[in-house]
Chain A
């Protein structure tokens, strides 16, 4: 069975809920802050993600409040959600490690060639 791959938006929603329970807009704002404003969650998308995460048991409703006569629902990360986030972090970390290693092996010969010819180039320029 393949592990579920978490989309970037879902990843930041999970990440936003790691410290404390948050309501809808607070999740949007926290996700934007954590991603340096790269992730701008539309409200419809946010609730689609919350539905899926709640259905899979990754998050649950923490409490409900009435603010300005409107219901405000707070969500918190469950144990399953934390494990999902950790596995996603591990997956991304492994991907980054492989990519870094691969890039290094491609860059190193270029650097070596450059350093080898650098004195000659310097002499020619002077």
Chain B
């Protein structure tokens, strides 16, 4: 039965509406419109029947003063998410939106994992490179003895993103959530204690939003099929392309702003790794923006649409965030480091790194487009 037929069938004359029923109907506003048209009266009747069965003697009082319980509210919230995203009968527009949001989140996780790889690489290179003792980063053992376990966790928590990416691929929802919390918690506490005042509100809100998105994904049971994974490669590849481009622009901009520090290679590497680590915030922005933009636009029912939407939103989000997040860059301006003999090697390494990222991203992007087209034609 179509939604229209059903809504016509639902057009029954209204009874006297009690306060309890009004509250139930208000709760059901969480459900998408197409679903309400199909089921609202039926669900309200079930709610009221359950209420009557629970306390038959005081049912009249409940009608006047009763309210939905927390369990009822929670179950309707979960149903609202399922009805929007996970039900096959939901309109194509809703499904496409959900696919776009899923892919944006996947792109975000890819960015975070990539940032973790970059930060780790920078750390390892700086540990083994012939820098002086002041420049060399502390090893994990030294870090724990110097700044304690909590400090060490703050420094290495980003590594949890490396675990999060494969966890989402295999559909381990609660493990994914744990990894996200491990990765995010130190960031949130660090930002709140950083003394930037109102500037900290936005990053904290973003990180919390990221957590909420992950919870929603977990509740909706994100589990990627192989075919869908191939399609999602496009999103991830695009994220990498745009990130590498933005990083390159930022890097060149930094050099133009501070030409006197061109040869201060350790700083360049520090800056590079810091920018990479900052990707958590960039990608969280991308997710929030994607959700807002997707919610506000009419989307066609093409399967490719979700991919392109997700790519576009990620790109726009990353660019906007890059523009809006000027303040962290100011804190990363080079200080007073000595020139080392390995400058050229490391600069070359950074450039090769970016070039390799771009190449890999382009190859996987072209491949995923081809795979997507094959799936669509099948």
Which residues of A are at the interface with B, using a C-beta cutoff of 8 A? 23-25, 28-29, 42-48, 51-52, 55, 61, 64, 66-73
List, in ascending order, chain B residues with CB within 8 A of A48's CB. 75, 78-79, 82
Provided the pairs A25-B53, A45-B78 are in contact, do residues A61 and B1 lie with their beta carbons within 8 angstroms? Answer: yes
List, in ascending order, chain A residues with CB within 8 A of B43's CB. 24, 43, 47
Q: A44-B77, A69-B12 are in contact. List 14 more A-B contacts (CB 8 A).
A: A23-B46, A24-B45, A28-B50, A29-B53, A43-B72, A51-B82, A51-B89, A52-B87, A55-B88, A55-B89, A70-B41, A70-B45, A71-B10, A71-B45
Q: Which of B9, B44, B49, B71 contacts A42 (CB 8 A)?
A: B71
Give the docked Cα–Cα distance between A67 and B41 (Å). 11
Give the docked Cα–Cα distance between A23 and B41 (Å). 12
B6 → chain A, closest Cβ, in Å?
A: 9
Give the docked Cα–Cα distance between A23 and B79 (Å). 18
Q: 11 A-B pairs, CB-CB below 8 angstroms? A: A24-B43, A28-B46, A43-B47, A43-B76, A45-B78, A46-B46, A51-B87, A68-B15, A69-B13, A70-B41, A70-B42
Contact present for B88 and A44 (CB under 8 Å): no
List, in ascending order, chain B residues with CB within 8 A of A46's CB. 46
Contact present for A55 and B72 (CB under 8 Å): no
CB-nearest residue of chain A to B90: A51
Provided the pairs A47-B39, A48-B82 are in contact, do residues A67 and B72 lie with their beta carbons within 8 angstroms? Answer: no
B238 → chain A, closest Cβ, in Å?
A: 32
Contact present for A71 and B74 (CB under 8 Å): no
Contact present for A70 and B89 (CB under 8 Å): no
CB-nearest residue of chain A to B82: A48
Interface core residue of A23, A45, A72 (most chain B CB under 10 Å) = A45
B235 → chain A, closest Cβ, in Å?
A: 27
Contact present for A67 and B82 (CB under 8 Å): no
A4 → chain B, closest Cβ, in Å?
A: 13
Give the docked Cα–Cα distance between A25 and B139 (Å). 62
- Classify the interface of chain B: helix, strand, loop or mixed: helix
Contact present for A24 and B46 (CB under 8 Å): yes
Provided the pairs A51-B83, A66-B12 are in contact, do residues A44 and B78 lie with their beta carbons within 8 angstroms? Answer: yes
B14 at the interface (CB under 8 A from A): yes
Interface core residue of A51, A69, A70, A73 (most chain B CB under 10 Å) = A70
Q: Return the CB mask of B1-30 against A: 1 if under 8 Å, else 0.
A: 100000001101111000000000000000
List, in ascending order, chain B residues with CB within 8 A of A23's CB. 42, 45-46
Q: Which of B15, B50, B53 contacts A70 (CB 8 A)?
A: B15
Contact present for A43 and B89 (CB under 8 Å): no
List, in ascending order, chain A residues with CB within 8 A of B82's CB. 48, 51
Q: Return the CB mask of B216-228 against A: 1 if under 8 Å, else 0.
A: 0000000000000
Contact present for B79 and A44 (CB under 8 Å): yes
List, in ascending order, chain B residues with CB within 8 A of A70's CB. 12, 15, 41-42, 44-45
List, in ascending order, chain B residues with CB within 8 A of A43's CB. 43, 46-47, 50, 72, 75-76
List, in ascending order, chain A residues with CB within 8 A of B46's CB. 23-25, 28, 43, 46
Interface core residue of B43, B46, B83 (most chain A CB under 10 Å) = B46
For residues 44 through 75 of chain B, which have their beta carbon under 8 Å from a beta carbon of chain A? 44-47, 49-50, 53, 71-72, 74-75
List, in ascending order, chain B residues with CB within 8 A of A44's CB. 72, 74-79
Contact present for B45 and A67 (CB under 8 Å): yes
Give the docked Cα–Cα distance between A117 and B215 (Å). 57
Give the docked Cα–Cα distance between A46 and B72 (Å). 11
Contact present for B45 and A68 (CB under 8 Å): yes
Please list the 6 inter-chain residue pairs (A to B) with the smallest Cβ-Cβ separation, ordered nearest first: A44-B75, A42-B75, A24-B46, A25-B49, A69-B15, A44-B79
Give the docked Cα–Cα distance between A67 and B71 (Å). 26
List, in ascending order, chain A residues with CB within 8 A of B87's CB. 51-52, 55
Give the docked Cα–Cα distance between A46 and B49 (Å). 14
Q: Which of A42, A55, A61, A64 contacts B74 (CB 8 A)?
A: A42
Give the docked Cα–Cα distance between A70 and B87 (Å). 25
Provided the pairs A47-B39, A47-B79, A69-B12 are in contact, do residues A42 and B45 lie with their beta carbons within 8 angstroms? Answer: no
B224 → chain A, closest Cβ, in Å?
A: 16
Contact present for B50 and A45 (CB under 8 Å): no
Contact present for A45 and B79 (CB under 8 Å): yes
A63 → chain B, closest Cβ, in Å?
A: 11
List, in ascending order, chain B residues with CB within 8 A of A73's CB. 42
List, in ascending order, chain A residues with CB within 8 A of B53's CB. 25, 29
Give the docked Cα–Cα distance between A70 and B16 (Å). 11
Give the docked Cα–Cα distance between A42 and B1 (Å). 25
List, in ascending order, chain A residues with CB within 8 A of B47's CB. 43
